[in-house]
Amino acid sequence: MKKIYLIFLAILVTACDYPIFDSQKESEPKVAISSFFCPDSVIRVKVSPVTDAFTDSSATVEIKEVKLTNQKTGKVAYLENEVGSESVYTIDQLVPANGDVLKIEVVTGASDEAIVALDSIGESIVPFRLVDIGVTVDDRSSGNTISCTIYHTGTVKFLPVGDSKTHFYELIIFVSEQSEEEMFSSEPYQANLHSNTSFVTSEDYYPSKNSIQAYYPKSLLFKLTGESKDSVLLDYTYLNSSLFTDNKMNSIAHNLRVELRTVSYAYYHYKTSRYKQRNAIIGDIIYGAAPPVMVPSNVENGTGIFAGYNVTAIDTFIQEYDYQRK
């Protein structure tokens, strides 16, 4: 029996074909850049050292200079440490606009080569309308077992950028819950989103209907290609907090902010890969683990993301909803 177990273990280890990592005493840390920037907003960039897993490095790097150049206007600014933060750099003297192309250069004490990233903000913004806001209830209660979920739904209508290029978009929803009885307002949070719109569900990061343990994204990313003179509709569904008392389900009132962003390809590629990576890590109880997903970087001589977008937004208030079980 012991021999059989050892043979099985050897086959298992060989079949997995995973790389073997050794702890290294010294490893030169990379510098990671993280920033999403948009018009009319102060630029904030997180600059921090990172090392590969299974190393003993303490990952400290001297940041000598963080330089930002607007390639469109030629204006140059040097970012400074944000008060109270060791890794966030900011500047209020260079606020980007639609169509700007920004280049960031970080000089460190670890290398003679600067860490460089370049990205742009789209020239066109995309206005939209909320054409439908509603509620659906999924009541699967049986006997004394309560299983009831209140979903909030909506549909946005917009006219895509009308040229022959492929443009990338993102829909994000922020929820800030309100309670008149307890007199409180929660901090805004991003709600996980579902959609039935084909140009969203056909994206490879969006979970398939066959997935059992899928993580639904906190934003809906999609691309639209070709000239279009017609508006398109995009539906969404999200959950917020609910309370159950006296055989009644109450969905808490909340402020709702709906944002439609036009994003760069680097932005789109990075976020969709992050969503795919998370679901790959989770796996599926029926279909098993997905292939590994590498998150892309548009940073040279370092790693991370430096990406631009612009945004239009609508703010509205959603009244509480009471569902009385029959």
Query: Looking at 97, 120, 143, which one is the last position of a domain?
Result: 120
Place of tokens 């607007």: 70
Q: What is the pLDDT along the chain (326 residues), one digit of tens a residue?
A: 444 444 433 433 333 443 443 444 445 678 999 999 999 889 999 999 886 655 555 567 889 999 999 999 999 999 999 998 889 999 988 899 999 999 999 999 888 899 999 999 999 899 999 999 999 999 887 777 778 899 999 999 999 998 888 999 999 999 999 876 655 678 999 999 999 999 999 999 999 877 667 789 999 999 998 766 789 999 999 999 988 877 788 899 999 999 999 999 999 999 999 999 888 877 655 455 667 788 999 999 999 999 999 999 999 999 999 988 76
C-alpha distances in Å from residue 111, one per residue of 69, 106, 164, 218, 277? 21, 10, 42, 37, 30
Q: Does 81 share its domain with 145?
A: no
Contact 190, 218 (CB under 8 A): yes
Do 144 and 103 share a domain, yes or no?
no
Q: What is the pLDDT of residue 30?
A: 82
Does a structural domain hold residue 320?
yes
Q: Are 298 and 306 in contact (CB under 8 A)?
A: yes
* Number of domains, the chain: 2
Domain span holding position 277:
128-296+308-324
- Indicate whether 254 and 135 sit together in one domain: yes
CA distances from 9 to 5, 73, 173 (A): 6, 63, 48
Query: Which residues, at least 6 apart from 245, have a Cβ–Cβ distance to it below 8 Å?
Result: none
In this structure, is residue 18 part of a structural domain?
no
CA 290 from chain centre, in angstroms, equals 20
DSSP-derived secondary structure letter, 217: P
Q: Which of 155, 133, 134 is nearest to 260 (CA)?
A: 155
Q: What is the pLDDT of residue 183?
A: 58
The pLDDT assigned to 164 comes to 84
Pair (73, 150) in one structural domain: no
Amino acid at 146: I
Task: State pTM to two decimals.
Answer: 0.85
Rounded to an integer, what is the distance from CA 179 to the centroid of its chain? 28
What is the β-pairing status of strands 166-179 and 189-190?
A: antiparallel
Please indicate, yes or no, whether residues 135 and 259 belong to a single structural domain of this protein: yes
| Residue 140 confidence (pLDDT) | 84
**Of 120, 148, 163, which residue is a domain's last?**
120
9 occurs within a structural domain = no
Q: Which of 100, 120, 140 is the last residue of a domain?
A: 120
pLDDT given for residue 308 in this prediction: 97
Q: Are residues 175 and 313 in the same domain?
A: yes
